[in-house]
């Protein structure tokens, strides 16, 4: 019992719990909010699909894997515009204090908008 309650076990267990919780949140709530933010920022002309988001081990960055931006189809568009897709394989974004996303709604909104701007700037879609 003393081994389980020792700092040498509690600290890594707590860190691992925080790391896994952050990654679960990034791939559930943050990814959905980020997709909605990109759609809003582009006037609903681009749809976003993100395969996964992973936090850095030091909670100082996030990596977005396979970001796909697809031109939303509207009636009257030219056929070549309807099928336009932009794929970004990996985007690594420096993000100090990433773990704060779990505890602050203000931090979540600000970071969602900041990451949205980075995605749009990556392929020159910022309007």
Ramachandran class of 30: left when φ > 0, alpha when ψ lies in -120 to 50, beta otherwise: alpha
What tokens appear for 126 in the block? 């910022």
Residue 64 lies in a domain: yes
Q: Could you give the number of structural domains in the chain?
A: 1
Bridge partners, residue 87, by sequence: 68
- The reported pLDDT for the residue numbered 62 is 93
The secondary structure of 57-98 as a DSSP string is TTSSEEEEEEEEEEEPP-TT--HHHHT-EEEEEEEEEE-TTG
Residue 1 lies in a domain: no
Residue 45 lies in a domain: yes
List pLDDT tens digits, range 12-65. Answer: 999 999 999 999 999 999 999 999 999 999 888 999 999 999 999 988 999 999
- The reported pLDDT for the residue numbered 33 is 92
- The reported pLDDT for the residue numbered 73 is 73
Residue 31 lies in a domain: yes
Residue 2 lies in a domain: no
Residue 24: give the domain boundaries.
Answer: 7-122
The residue behind tokens 């309650």 is 5
The residue behind tokens 């974004």 is 93
Residue 56 lies in a domain: yes
pTM: 0.78
Residue 127 lies in a domain: no
Residue 53 lies in a domain: yes
List pLDDT tens digits, range 79-110. Answer: 555 568 888 899 999 988 888 888 888 888 88
Residues 6+ apart with CB under 8 A from 18: 59, 99, 102
């Amino acid at each position: 019992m003393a081994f389980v309650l020792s700092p040498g076990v509690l600290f890594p267990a707590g860190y691992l719990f925080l790391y896994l919780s952050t990654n679960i949140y990034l791939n559930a709530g943050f990814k959905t909010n980020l997709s909605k933010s990109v759609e809003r920022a582009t006037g609903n002309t681009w749809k976003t699909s993100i395969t996964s988001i992973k936090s850095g081990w030091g909670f100082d960055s996030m990596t977005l894997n396979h970001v796909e931006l697809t031109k939303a189809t509207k009636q009257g568009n030219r056929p070549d515009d309807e099928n336009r897709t932009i794929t970004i394989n990996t985007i690594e974004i420096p993000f100090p204090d990433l773990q704060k996303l779990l505890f602050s709604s203000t931090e979540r909104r600000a970071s969602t908008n900041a990451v949205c701007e980075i995605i749009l700037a990556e392929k020159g879609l910022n309007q």
